[in-house]
Amino acid sequence: MSLEGIVQTDRHPLTDPAFGAACRARLDRDGVVVLEGFLTPGALEALDTEAEAGRAQAYFCTQSHSVYLTPPDPALPADHPVNRQVVSSKGCICDDEVAATSPLRALYDAPEFRTFVCRATGEAEVHPYADPLSSINIHYAERGQELGWHFDNSSFAITLLIRKPDAGSRFEYVKDLRDADAGEMNPEGVADLLDGRTTPQVLSMDPGTLVLFRGRNSIHRVSPNESDRTRMLAVLAYNARPGVQLSENARMTFYGRLGAA
């Protein structure tokens, strides 16, 4: 499938350097870029069918973790934000289960898309994960499932909403709540959020929307799905350098396996 068959390039001219620069400016200013109507109707329909067909193969798991995604620190009180636990529950299809003919594969591998990602994020180059599981994922959230508050380890994330539930599953975030590079974890600000003293922003999106998000310093979550309609979301993950693998511990935690099925 050609890029024009996947992306509405009249609305989102990926090969135009000025478009990439404008996305970069928005990402730097707001921490997020929302490209509504990114997918063509045909590509969105194909992805919905593909994701629904693959749902039975998804690995579902529930995890407790801190917002920092770090181990507990016994030197700190149990109610310290480093030690407080939130819950994430979801299903996941891994890269090796995404068909070679999938529009996701064609988009992920397209040189024009990777060039756009570099322009929009400021990365000099982007590369796929070296392990066979982590580059393209499809996530599922059924009734009651959620993604708990957390900061990302990576500098940016790319998602494509495939199916939206009838209620719940709100993407909520607080921009620049910490400065990871400076080692400023801002536990007081995190505690205010966890205790309900801070009101997060809510990002609205419809199926076919692409989101570029800087989650390293902006805490975020997806609230529980409050409907019987499954939320389905594709994640396209790149690295700034080649040869990077997701750790074995992370692969077992998120995928339930280390290598190809």
Query: What's the pLDDT at 238?
Result: 95
In a domain, 180, yes or no: yes
Q: Is 196 helix (H, G, I), strand (E, B) or coil?
A: coil
In sequence order, the β-bridge partners of residue 150 are 220
149 — phi, psi (to 5°)? Answer: -55, 135
In a domain, 261, yes or no: no
In a domain, 237, yes or no: yes
> Where are any strands of DSSP class E within 66-218?
86-93, 136-141, 147-150, 157-163, 171-174, 201-203, 210-213
| Domain encompassing residue 9 | 3-255
In this predicted structure, the answer to whether residue 87 has a pLDDT above a threshold of 90 is yes
Query: What's the pLDDT at 248?
Result: 84
Domain of residue 217, CATH code = 2.60.120.620
Digit-coded pLDDT (tens) for 134-185? 999 999 999 999 999 999 888 899 999 999 999 999 999 999 999 999 999 9
pTM: 0.94
Average pLDDT, the chain: 95
**Helical pair 17-30 and 111-121, crossing angle rounded to 10 deg:** 40
| Structure tokens given for 12 | 């989102």
CA 43 to CA 47: how far, in whole Å?
6
In a domain, 260, yes or no: no
CA 215 to CA 199: how far, in whole Å?
17
Residue 136 has, within 13 A of its CA and on its CB side, a CA count of 17
Digit-coded pLDDT (tens) for 203-244? 999 999 999 999 999 999 999 999 999 999 999 999 989 998
Please state the domain count of the chain: 1
Closest CA to 214 of 186, 177, 246: 177
Digit-coded pLDDT (tens) for 15-44? 999 999 999 999 999 999 999 999 999 999
In this predicted structure, the answer to whether residue 253 has a pLDDT above a threshold of 90 is no
